[in-house]
C-alpha cells in the first residue's frame, strides 16, 4: 500500500512504508511517474506520482580466476539515488553473518549466488547521497566440467531484465508496459589464470530501444592476461507504448543472449592443466574476520569435497584466528569431523575434547 499525505500545497507526499530506510517522498522506481487511484473520504481520484532519481549502482571488479575456474576477489560498490537507499541497510546491521547475507542480495545483479566472505563499509556515510562498500566474493566453478576449458560468466548474471516473451497468437497489446528505471555499470578487471587465454574475442553489443540502452564489452588485454569488462545497462523509460513492446522484447533477448555466453578460456600448454591442484590453496587469502574466513572455507572447500584441502584451509584459519574463541571452536569441530571421516576416531575424539576445553 502506498500512502499519500497532503503536503499543504494542494498536492501529496507519497510514501511506501514497506521500504526500509527510504525518506518520505522517495518511492521505488516502478512506482514513480505513474497514474495511481487515490481513495480519500470515500471518493476516488486519479493523481500522478512524482519522478525520482532511480539511482545508479556501479560495481568495480578486482577479481581473479583460479586455474580450476573459481572466481574470487573484491568488488567495490558505489551507489546513488534509490539504489543507495537499499545499500544503506548494511550500516544498520550489527551481526556480521546477517550483513554478509544482505550484501549477497545486493550483489545479485553482478554475481547471482556468490558467497560474500568479507565486507568493508566506511563509517559515517551520509544518509543521503552516495553509498560505498567493498565485498570479497567467492564464486564456484560448477559450470567448468571439462578439464580442457574454463568458462568465465559475464559479471551481470543476475541483472533484472524484464521478461517480454509474447506468444505469436496473443492479441494486440492495449496498454503501456511499466518498467522500473535503473542504471547498472560494471567496470574493473578480472585477472585470468597463468597459462589460460580466451579462445576468441567476443564481439561487443550495443543496443538502444524504447528506453533500454545496453553497452556490453569484455575488452581483453592479452599483454597482462586480464579482461576488463565494460558493461552498462540503463532502463530510462517507465512506460513503453503497447506497439513497441514486441520490438523491446527482441532487444532484451539480444542482451540476455550476450550475457548468457561465457568467456571461454583454453590452456596454452600442458603446464596450465598441471597447476590446477597445486594452486587451489595457495590463493586462499586472509580476510578481516574469522567468521568470514570460515564462510570462505565452506564455499571453497565444503565437507563433501576434497578433505585434504579442507583440512589445510581450516588449519590456516586456526593459525590466523586462534584468539577468536568461536572461530577456534568451530574450526576444531570441523577438523574433528574430518578425522572421523578419514577413519581416525582417536584423533577426532582428542580434537573435540580440546575444542570443548576452549
pLDDT digits (tens, 9 = 90+) for 40-65: 888 898 998 888 888 899 999 999 98
The residue with greater pLDDT, 9 or 279, is: 9
Separation in Å, CA 57 to CA 22, 78, 86, 109, 130: 17, 6, 11, 10, 10
How much is the mean pLDDT over the chain? 85
Secondary structure (3-state) at 288:
coil
Secondary structure (3-state) at 233:
strand
**Does 279 have pLDDT greater than 60?**
no
**Does 232 have pLDDT greater than 90?**
yes
In total, the chain counts a number of residues equal to 358
**Does 20 have pLDDT greater than 80?**
no
Which cell is 90 given? Answer: 548494511
Would you place residue 142 in the very low, low, confident or very high pLDDT band (cuts 50, 70, 90)? low
**pLDDT at residue 136, rounded to an integer:** 95
Phi-psi category of residue 129: left, alpha or beta, with phi > 0 → left and psi -120 to 50 → alpha: left
Strands (E), 236-277: 239-240, 263-267
The residue with greater pLDDT, 26 or 149, is: 26
**pLDDT at residue 272, rounded to an integer:** 59
Write out pLDDT tens, residues 87-132: 888 888 888 888 898 899 889 889 887 889 999 998 878 777 789 9
Residue 69 contacts residue 300 (beta carbons within 8 Å): no
Give first-to-last CA distance, the chain, whole Å.
Answer: 52
**Does 169 have pLDDT greater than 80?**
no
**pLDDT at residue 230, rounded to an integer:** 94
Distance CA 56, CA 215 (A): 15
Q: Compute the Cα dihedral for 273, 75, 111, 234 and give only its sign.
A: negative
The residue with greater pLDDT, 61 or 276, is: 61
Helices 325-341, 307-320: inter-axial angle, 10-degree rounding: 160
Would you place residue 270 in the very low, low, confident or very high pLDDT band (cuts 50, 70, 90)? low
Distance CA 70, CA 73 (A): 10
HSE toward the beta carbon, residue 15, CA cutoff 13 A:
12
**pLDDT at residue 275, rounded to an integer:** 54
**Does 271 have pLDDT greater than 70?**
no
Would you place residue 7 in the very low, low, confident or very high pLDDT band (cuts 50, 70, 90)? confident
Nearest CA to 151 out of 138, 159, 142, 160 is that of: 142
At a CB cut-off of 8 Å and minimum separation 6, what does 121 contact? 90, 91, 99, 132, 133, 134
The residue with greater pLDDT, 355 or 223, is: 223
Which cell is 343 given? Answer: 577413519
**pLDDT at residue 185, rounded to an integer:** 95
**pLDDT at residue 181, rounded to an integer:** 87
Secondary structure (3-state) at 184:
strand
**pLDDT at residue 358, rounded to an integer:** 64
Residue 318 contacts residue 333 (beta carbons within 8 Å): no
**Does 148 have pLDDT greater than 80?**
no
Distance CA 173, CA 177 (A): 9
At a CB cut-off of 8 Å and minimum separation 6, what does 304 contact? none
Distance CA 99, CA 89 (A): 9
At a CB cut-off of 8 Å and minimum separation 6, what does 160 contact? 109, 180, 182
Amino acid at each position: 500500500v502506498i500512502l499519500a499525505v497532503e503536503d499543504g500545497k494542494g498536492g501529496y507526499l507519497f510514501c511506501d512504508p514497506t521500504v526500509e530506510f527510504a525518506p518520505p517522498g522517495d518511492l521505488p522506481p516502478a512506482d514513480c511517474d505513474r497514474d495511481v487511484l487515490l481513495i480519500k473520504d470515500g471518493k476516488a481520484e486519479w493523481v500522478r506520482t512524482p519522478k525520482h532519481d532511480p539511482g545508479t549502482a556501479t560495481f568495480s571488479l578486482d577479481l581473479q580466476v583460479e586455474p580450476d575456474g573459481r572466481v574470487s576477489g573484491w568488488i567495490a560498490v558505489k551507489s546513488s539515488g534509490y539504489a543507495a537507499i537499499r545499500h544503506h541497510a548494511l550500516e544498520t546491521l550489527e551481526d556480521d553473518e546477517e550483513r554478509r547475507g544482505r550484501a549477497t542480495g545486493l550483489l545479485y545483479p553482478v554475481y547471482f549466488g556468490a558467497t560474500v566472505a568479507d565486507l568493508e563499509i566506511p563509517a559515517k556515510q551520509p544518509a543521503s547521497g552516495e553509498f560505498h562498500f567493498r565485498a570479497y566474493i567467492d564464486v564456484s566453478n560448477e559450470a567448468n566440467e571439462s578439464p580442457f576449458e574454463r568458462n568465465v560468466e559475464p559479471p551481470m548474471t543476475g541483472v533484472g531484465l524484464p521478461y517480454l516473451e509474447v506468444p505469436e497468437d496473443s492479441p494486440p497489446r492495449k496498454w503501456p508496459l511499466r518498467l522500473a528505471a535503473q542504471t547498472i555499470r560494471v567496470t574493473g578487471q578480472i585477472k585470468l589464470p597463468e597459462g589460460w587465454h580466451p579462445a576468441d574475442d567476443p564481439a561487443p553489443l550495443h543496443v538502444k530501444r524504447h528506453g533500454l540502452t545496453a553497452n556490453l564489452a569484455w575488452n581483453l588485454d592479452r599483454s597482462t592476461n586480464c579482461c576488463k569488462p565494460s558493461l552498462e545497462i540503463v532502463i530510462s523509460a517507465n512506460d513503453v507504448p503497447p506497439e513497441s513492446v514486441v520490438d523491446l522484447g527482441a532487444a532484451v533477448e539480444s542482451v540476455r543472449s550476450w550475457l548468457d555466453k561465457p568467456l571461454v578460456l583454453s590452456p596454452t600448454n600442458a603446464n596450465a592443466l598441471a597447476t590446477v591442484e597445486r594452486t587451489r590453496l595457495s590463493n586462499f587469502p586472509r580476510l578481516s574476520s574469522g567468521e568470514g574466513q570460515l564462510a570462505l572455507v565452506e564455499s571453497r572447500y565444503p565437507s563433501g569435497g576434497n578433505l585434504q584441502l579442507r583440512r589445510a584451509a581450516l588449519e590456516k584459519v586456526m593459525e590466523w584466528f586462534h584468539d577468536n574463541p568461536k572461530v577456534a571452536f568451530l574450526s576444531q569441530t570441523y577438523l574433528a569431523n574430518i578425522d572421523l571421516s578419514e577413519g581416525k576416531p582417536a584423533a577426532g575424539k582428542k580434537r573435540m575434547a580440546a575444542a570443548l576445553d576452549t
